[in-house]
A and B are shown apart, each in its own frame.
Chain A
Amino acid sequence: MSYLPTAELNKIFTNPKSFANFVGQMGTPLFKVPLEILMNWDTFRERPIDFMEHLGKTHGKDWGEGFFSSPVEYEGKLGEDIVGVARGDVSIKDVKERFSGEGSASFLGIKMTPKQKHLMQAIVLLGELDRANPWGVFGDEVTGKKSWLGAERTTNDISPAARLIRAAIGARIYQREKGAKARYEGASSAYAVIELSNLLGSSKVSRNPELVEHTLSLIQQAMGQEEGTEYKERFGL
Chain B
Amino acid sequence: MAENVSELSEKEKRKLVDDLLRNIRNPYTEADVPASKEDIIRGLDDVLEGMRSGPSPASQALDLTTQAVSAGYEALPEPIQRGVEATGQGAKVVGSKFMEFLGPLDKPRGALAGAWEELGPEEASVTDERSMARRIWEGMGEGWRDPSSKSYFPEQIRTDLAETGTTGKVASVVGDIAANVAGDPLTYLATPLVSLPYHGLKWVANFIAGTRPMQAGINAAPVRTVLEAFNVYVGDAGKAKRIMDDLRRQKRGSNILSDREEVLLNEELAAIAARAGVSVPELKSALLQDIETGALPSQVDEARARGDKYIAPESELGRVSDEAVGFAEGERKVMSDILAEEQAAGLAVEDIMRITKESGEAERAAELGIGGFYPHVLGKGATLSERVNSWFSQALPYAIGRGVSGTVREINNARGRTVFMDDPLVLRTLRQKWSRQALFSNRMLDRLTSELGTKLGKAPEGYVHPVGRRKTLFDEAGNPLPADFVKIDGHAIPAEAKRILDKQLWVVRDPKRLNVPLKAFDEVQRWWKKYALALRPAWHSRNAFSNFWNNWFIGGLTNPKRYGQAAAIQKAMQFKKGDIVSDIDRLAGRLTGKVVDPTFKVPGTGMTREEIWEAAVNSGIYEAGLYGTDIEQAARAASNVPFTTEWKGINKAFAAGKTVENNARIALFIDRLAKGDNIEDAAQMVRRALFDYADLSPFEQRYMKRIFPFYTWTRKNIPAQLHAVLQHPDRANKINIIVGGIQRDVPKVNDDDIEQWAIDQFPIMLSGKRQKILIHSSPH
Contacts and interface: CB of A to CB of B under 8 A. Distances in A.
A177 B48 contact: no
A173 to B, nearest CB: 5
A197 B17 contact: yes
B711 A26 contact: yes
A187 B752 CA distance: 13
A213 interface: yes
A201 B10 CA distance: 7
Contact of A206 (B8, B48, B51): B8
B538 interface: yes
B48 to A, nearest CB: 5
Nearest to A9: B98
Given A2-B762, A223-B24, A180 B753 contact: yes
Q: Looking at A173, A182, A234, which has the most chain B CB atoms within 10 Å of its CB?
A: A182
Contacts of B20: 193, 197, 219, 223
B88 to A, nearest CB: 15
Instruction: Determine the interface band of chain B, counting residues with CB < 8 A from chain A.
Output: 35 or more
A123 interface: yes
A33 B352 CA distance: 48
A187 B28 contact: no
B735 A206 contact: no
Contacts of B753: 176-181
A178 B28 contact: yes
Interface string B529-551: 00111011111011001100110
Contact of B707 (A12, A28, A167, A194): A28
Interface stretch (A13-21, A50-58, A80-88, A89-97): A13-21
B775 interface: yes
Q: Looking at A10, A185, A207, A234, which has the most chain B CB atoms within 10 Å of its CB?
A: A10
Interface in A5-61: 5-10, 12-15, 18, 21, 23, 25-31, 45
15 contacts: A1-B93, A3-B776, A6-B549, A23-B708, A25-B779, A168-B537, A171-B775, A172-B777, A176-B765, A179-B31, A182-B752, A194-B21, A212-B6, A223-B20, A224-B49
Interface stretch (B104-112, B309-317, B382-390, B714-722): B714-722
B163 interface: no
Interface string B75-118: 00000000000000000010111110100000000000000000
B773 A175 contact: yes
A116 B771 CA distance: 35
Contacts of A187: 24, 44, 47-48
Per CB-CB distance, the 8 closest pairs between chain A and chain B, nearest first, are: A179-B28, A170-B538, A182-B40, A236-B1, A1-B762, A124-B532, A186-B44, A209-B6
A14 B95 contact: yes
Nearest to A212: B5
Interface in B254-281: none
Contact of A166 (B21, B538, B772): B538
Contact of B553 (A6, A185, A198, A235): A6
Contact of A8 (B35, B711, B721): B721
Contacts of A209: 4-6
Given A182-B40, A183-B28, A8 B774 contact: no
B739 interface: yes
B41 interface: yes
Interface of B: 1-6, 8, 10, 12-14, 16-17, 19-21, 23-24, 26-29, 31, 35, 37, 40-41, 44-45, 47-49, 51-52, 57, 93, 95-99, 101, 521, 524-525, 528, 531-533, 535-539, 541-542, 545-546, 549-550, 553, 706-711, 714, 717-718, 721-722, 724-725, 732, 735, 739, 749-766, 770-780
Contacts of B521: 30
B51 A1 contact: no
A216 to B, nearest CB: 7
Contacts of B762: 1-2, 7, 10
A14 B759 CA distance: 11
Given A169-B538, A172-B775, A1 B6 contact: no
B24 A5 contact: no
B556 to A, nearest CB: 15
A14 B98 contact: yes
Contact of A179 (B26, B48, B707): B26
Contacts of B27: 179
B51 A182 contact: no
Given A182-B35, A190-B24, 10 more contacts: A4-B549, A9-B721, A14-B97, A23-B708, A167-B536, A171-B777, A174-B758, A178-B31, A182-B37, A197-B17
A117 to B, nearest CB: 17
Contacts of A225: 51-52, 57
Given A124-B536, A179-B28, A168 B40 contact: no
A226 B99 CA distance: 47
A151 to B, nearest CB: 14
A27 B771 CA distance: 35
A186 B717 contact: no
A193 B24 contact: yes
